Structure formats: C-alpha cells, structure tokens
A = this chain, B = another copy of it.
Amino acid sequence: MAGPQRDTAAPRPTSRDVARAAGVSQATVSLVLGDKWQGRVAERTAERVRAAARELGYRPNLAARNLRLGRTRTALLVVPALTNEFFARVHTGAARVAARHGFGVVLYPTPDLTAPARDPFDSARASLDGVLASSMASEALGAIRGDELPLVMLDSDPAGSLGASTVNLDIADGMRQATEHLLALGHRDLLHLAADVDSWTFHVRRDALVAAVRGSGATVRTAKALLTVDDARVAAEAALGGPGPRPTAVVCDDDILAAGVCKAARRLGLHVPDDLSVTGFDDLTLATAVEPELTTVALPAERFGEQGMATLIAVLDGRAPEPAALPAHLVVRGSTAQSPASRR
C-alpha cells in the first residue's frame, strides 16, 4: 500500500540544488567547488556550500562539465588485446598516470568485429582529449588519423608516425643482449621465431639480431607462428624436426612462443637447455611458471604505459614532451645453456 520510500529514480542533485540549500547562487557553488573562490567568496560561505554539497551527496555532472569546458580529461588507449598480459600491464601503467593527473582511460578496440563501423572516437561513449596508441594494433590504426586528436605512439617507427610523439622500448638492445648471451654460450645456429612479421617491431628485432651475429659466423633462420603456445609448438616442431642442421638455440619474440618451443622440444626428445636453448620476450607470468624457467628479455611494460600517458598529457598541456626510450634487460634463467658443441 505504502509507496516506496524513494522514488524509483531519485534525481541526482545539481549544483543548483546545493545553491538553494546553502542559500547562495549556483555560480557561487561552482566557484567554491571548483577551488577558484580565493578572495571571491568568504570562508564562512564557502564552508556552508561545502557542507550543503556533502549533505546532499552532490556530484558534478561530468557530461555538463565536459560540454562547458570543451574537454573531457579522457584519453583513448589503443592496444591489440588486453588478454595479452603485456598490454594489460601497459594499461595498468597508463591508467595509473592518467588517474594521477585527473584523466580517465578508455580502451579501443572494443573486441567486436561484427559491429558495424565502430567509431574509435566514441569508444566508450565519451569524447576524447587524446589518443595513446600501440603500433601493434594495426587494424585499429587505420581508423585513427593523427590530425583529429593529439596522438602519442607506443613503440612505433619514428619516421612513420609524422607529427605524433613516440615513446619507445629499446627492444633492439634487448634483442642484442639476448643474442650476445647465446653467442657467448657458443651457439652458432639460431632460429628466430616471430609472430608479427609484418610489424615494425619485428623488423627492429630482426635487424638487431642480424647485426648482433655479424662477424660471429653464426647463421639465423626465421620461422613464423601465431601468438599462441600451440601454434608456436607446431611451428617449432616443423622447424626443429626438419632436415638439415638443427638450430641449437631459438630466439622468440614473445614468452608465449618460447613456451611453445619448449613443448616442441620435449616432443622431439630434446632437453631444454642442454640440447636446445630458448629465449623469450616480455617476462610474463608464464616465464617463471614453466620448467625450466625462461631466459627472457624483460620489458618495463607498466613504465611503458606510464611514460606514454605522461607524454600524452604533456602534449595536451602544451608542454614539449621529452622523448624517451625505455631500457630492456635480459633476465637469464634456466632455458639457456652452453651449446652442445661448445660443451664437449
């Protein structure tokens, strides 16, 4: 019989409601709550306004604020997939820095390939101030034109992304470290297992690998696999079980590939690391979960995201971003050892 205590939709209080409760005008509320009241509103009044706002549970309407100010303090993060731990970490770092500056982060692409003509710029039904994009998100990049919004690229060819600032990981140096590690262990027949052979980062890795072996007398072959444990295993079985001299070490562009290679080795009756050395990339959770633990090139993924977002915010604030390249470092674990030949 008795109606509900609250109406089904209790309308949120507006700044006008707060004003009424505090006995001031809406403008005063805006001044006080916007921290721009120094010398314009008496302390007593300001406190009354704050109390009223607290009392009513007032929260400013972001849509109205965004409309008024013409900016949203929201950035778009473009990555291939969050299920890839590396990019989840990048997101974590980016979101942390964003929050510290009062920015929000939304993600693109929303993983629905069947949706008709998704617009990256209203990814989360929000207007955007800027874009932070990984060069790995190749399909999504087509939809993003740099002249629309301030853009910062993550790990992109500086020459190819004209106008946009870039933040890079020094994956070339990481690859150099991994390669020299293997060369020092006596390996001379290397296999390079890659996932994204079309990407810019592949060529960076590839070039670094080739440069590092130059003069050592070592040979390098390349194989390709999808970025899954299983496909990497299949590819590695094919490459390692084939005719001709078998590589003694496999350099993988991702820990997931390395895990697949380890499984392939086991199937082929090869022992890692005694018969076959394997290196990965990224130092994912995976790397220490498998046996043996993976020697891998650790990348500061979170700092990568942090630096990227910091750069984007700097751009938005009109400050000149200092270019940055984050260092990679090799973590030597149990999946690499002296080559069979050099051990004798």
Contact = CB atoms under 8 A, between A and B. Distances in A.
Contact of A104 (B85, B111, B125): B125
Contacts of A147: 6
Given A82-B92, A83-B88, A290-B290, A112 B127 contact: no
A257 to B, nearest CB: 11
A99 B125 CA distance: 10
A127 B263 contact: no
Contact of A111 (B95, B103, B230): B95
Interface in A274-291: 285-286, 288-291
A161 B252 CA distance: 47
Nearest to A121: B59
Interface string A317-344: 0000000000000000000000000000
A125 B72 contact: yes
Interface residues of A, number: 60
Contacts of A30: none
Contacts of A92: 81-83, 111
Interface in A20-66: 59, 61-64, 66
Interface string A93-136: 00110111011111100111011001101111111000000000
B83 A104 contact: no
A289 B126 CA distance: 39
A229 B284 CA distance: 11
Interface in A229-266: 229-230, 256, 259-260, 262-263, 266
Contacts of A73: 125
A159 interface: no
Given A83-B92, A85-B83, A124 B111 contact: no
Contacts of A85: 83, 85, 88
Interface of A: 6, 59, 61-64, 66-67, 72-74, 81-83, 85, 88-89, 91-92, 95-96, 98-100, 102-107, 110-112, 114-115, 118-119, 121-127, 147, 228-230, 256, 259-260, 262-263, 266, 285-286, 288-291
28 contacts: A6-B147, A59-B122, A62-B125, A66-B66, A66-B125, A67-B67, A74-B124, A74-B125, A85-B85, A95-B111, A99-B111, A103-B125, A104-B110, A104-B124, A104-B125, A104-B126, A105-B107, A105-B124, A106-B126, A124-B124, A228-B285, A229-B288, A256-B285, A263-B291, A286-B289, A289-B289, A289-B290, A291-B291
Among all A-B residue pairs, the 9 with the closest Cβ atoms: A104-B124, A63-B66, A104-B125, A259-B289, A99-B110, A63-B67, A99-B112, A126-B126, A83-B88
